[in-house]
Amino acid sequence: MASQGTVLAHNLGEHYELPLPLTLFVVGGAAVVLLSFLLVIRLRGEATPLVEAPDTVPQRGFSPVPGVLSLVAVAAVAYLGFAGTQEPSESLASVVFWVLLWIAVPLLCGLVGDFTRPVNPFANAARLLDSPRVRKAVLARSKPLAYRSGWWPALVLFVLLVLGELVFNSETGSIKPAFVATTLLLYTVLSGFLGLVYGAPWLERGEVFSVLWNTWGRQGFFRFGAPGGRGLAGGLDVPFERRPSRVLLVLLLLISINFDGLLATPDWVKHIATDKFSSGTELQEIGILVVLAAVVLAVFTGFAVASARLGAHGSGPLAALAGLLPSLVPIAYGYLVAHNLSYLAIETKSLFGSLLQHPLNGNASYRVDNNLVPSSVQWYVGLGVIVAVHVIAVVLAHRHLARSAPDERIALRSEYPWLVAMVAYTAFSLYLIAQPVVA
């Protein structure tokens, strides 16, 4: 049975007793989203044009200084994972991978944009070996092979990371420092080899961290050379490719965080704590993820198709969902913030307070108060963030539907199904983030 370690324990601390029934907060949040729609349609103007740019991770050459430093950093973190303490919560390797790379960097990218391209070690390993001279020496050919795998490698790797974080996260599993160190080294070598074989296309669609950080970065304020408009969410003006692998990958950003929320609900935590499911827990959790993915995909596809038909778009289910996919990215980001606020604060304080002082052996006597961020703060910040990102989603969906319909009347009609989805999802999101936080 998976036993969640401290390094991955989200939503710790005492529960907050709401001054009003939870139902009122949920209904109020949904009402704000509905009112934002009424405001948007009153301010209807010229439809915002799409940015004509390929849906790929922008590429750059290997920069010697940041490139070498990033690879040295991977080697140093791996060394600490092998040579240091094997207690996950006290290991720099586990914290760097599961807190910094997996949560903190996506949060920063979603706020400021994808700043990671020069310092991404996995991309730099691929860039370093993407050389005709090296390719000629190793593969006896100077040109890379044709890359035809689309977004599937990134999708598969992302699912494995989600399972590693949320399912196979025992102290002898994915959060064990030695396992993290091995994974870092093997994946760096793998990414370098695939860069050698396929060249830049591997980084454009296959390397999971490049794709992940670029997708979050589309919402960020700055573009850092990537296509898109200025300001917050400007990169979401670039449409996502209408490929099943790309649509599933973006949708899984949302599904994975909802999955994390479901596993943090009191009922599930109680089952784990009391060993009610003493065997097969991992299979049950994988089953939950599969069912959740199928339900979310079916529901959002259904509402997207309804909007496309009412808007006379003449598009199929895949195109209908891909067109509205940018409006789901802010929602996924908002849930990422709300769900990880306390966890990130605790681990950041632990990182600076203990791990940097004792990088090899940790500090068993150093403990961070689980109430560092009070549950009341978690709830009200989460409430504000969830409502705000759903309002942004309504605006993005409105822009897409306005430019896709033949006239203003039909465009307005097409917005109603997706509005229903947004209002319902606001209520669901607020209910879900409340479970581990409020009494």
Half-sphere exposure of 186 (CA within 13 A, CB side): 6
**Percent over 90 (pLDDT), the chain:** 59
Q: What is the pTM of this model?
A: 0.91
Q: Give the model confidence (pLDDT) of 292-336 as tens digits.
A: 999 999 999 999 999 999 999 988 999 999 999 999 999 999 999
Q: What is the dihedral of CA 337, 341, 343, 344, to 10 degrees?
A: 80
pLDDT at site 192: 97
- C-beta neighbour count of 169 within 10 angstroms: 22
Residue 78: pLDDT above 80?
Answer: yes
Pick from 47-56, 341-350, 403-412 the range whose average pLDDT is largest: 403-412
Give the model's confidence band at 439: pLDDT under 50 very low, under 70 low, under 90 confident, else very high: low
Q: Give the model confidence (pLDDT) of 19-39 as tens digits.
A: 878 888 889 989 999 898 888
* More confident position, 202 or 343: 202
Domain ranges of the chain: 6-434
Residue 21's Cβ-count burial label (10 Å; 0-12, 13-18, 19+) is exposed
* Among the ranges given (45-59, 85-99, 152-166, 368-382), the one the predictor scored with the smallest mean pLDDT: 368-382
Q: Give the model confidence (pLDDT) of 159-216 as tens digits.
A: 999 999 999 987 778 899 999 999 999 999 999 999 999 999 999 999 999 999 999 9
How does DSSP classify residue 278? -
* More confident position, 41 or 232: 232
Are 235 and 226 in contact, with CB atoms under 8 Å apart? yes
pLDDT at site 5: 47
**DSSP string across 137-191:** HHHS-SSPPPP--TTHHHHHHHHHHHHHHHTS-STTTTTSHHHHHHHHHHHHHHH
pLDDT at site 180: 96
- C-beta neighbour count of 232 within 10 angstroms: 17
